[in-house]
Chains A and B, each alone.
Chain A
Amino acid sequence: QKEVEQDPGPLSVPEGAIVSLNCTYSNSAFQYFMWYRQYSRKGPELLMYTYSSGNKEDGRFTAQVDKSSKYISLFIRDSQPSDSATYLCAMTDSNYQLIWGAGTKLIIKP
């Protein structure tokens, strides 16, 4: 079993829809939780990160962490074609090494 599970998709939704991207993890020692966005043929770039359980909002993006369920989510409101990318979740273990999900490919249809 992988330490971090993430559905690779693709997830295809119409423009303007609310998108929900999720990861589950097995290691309760994970501390920081991050979402990276990766456009095609580019390197990943940090979108959001959080340390504790709860919600964190940044514009149209909301990151949610539920440590009791070992589940994190990224919500995108009013999705735009420019949001089409692969979204990777990442978490730090007790040695502060990043453990990555496989990434979910998101397609926003105009």
Chain B
Amino acid sequence: NAGVTQTPKFRILKIGQSMTLQCTQDMNHNYMYWYRQDPGMGLKLIYYSVGAGITDKGEVPNGYNVSRSTTEDFPLRLELAAPSQTSVYFCASSTQTGGTEAFFGQGTRLTVV
């Protein structure tokens, strides 16, 4: 059982470049999330989705975009990368929002130089 799979694990981007962080889950969860984690700052919600075709902004959406064409996949797109987007990105999924267990991927470490 793979759970939540994120690719790539590491990436270095130059300022202004773009990239897509991939996330796929095999648990048939409706809810999926993208977080970023900065040292000493906890997890900040970037975008979330309650099902295929439905996405919504979280706390820190600027500079990012998402799509949810299938239940399994929830890619995060970075356009025009900036040093402020250097962070560890986590994708997560759950059966419901909030009061149920969220399952996390192993993270993508992104550095923008």
* SS class, residues of chain A in contact with chain B: loop
For B96, what are the chain A residues with a Cβ–Cβ distance below 8 Å?
A: 96
Cβ-defined contact, B104 with A43, below 8 A: yes
Task: Count B-side interface residues using an 8 Å CB cutoff.
Answer: 21
Q: Which residues of B contact A (CB under 8 A)?
A: 4, 40-45, 58, 90, 92, 96-99, 101-107
Task: Count A-side interface residues using an 8 Å CB cutoff.
Answer: 25
| CB-nearest residue of chain B to A101 | B42
Q: Which of A32, A97, A98 has the most CB of B within 10 A?
A: A98
How many CB-defined contacts (below 8 Å) exist between A and B?
57
The docked-state distance in angstroms from the alpha carbon of A98 to that of B88 is 18
Cβ-defined contact, B98 with A8, below 8 A: no
The docked-state distance in angstroms from the alpha carbon of A61 to that of B103 is 20
Q: Give residues 45-88 of A contacting B (CB, 8 Å).
A: 45-46, 49, 51, 88
Cβ-defined contact, A43 with B97, below 8 A: no
CB distance from B68 to the nearest CB of A (A): 17
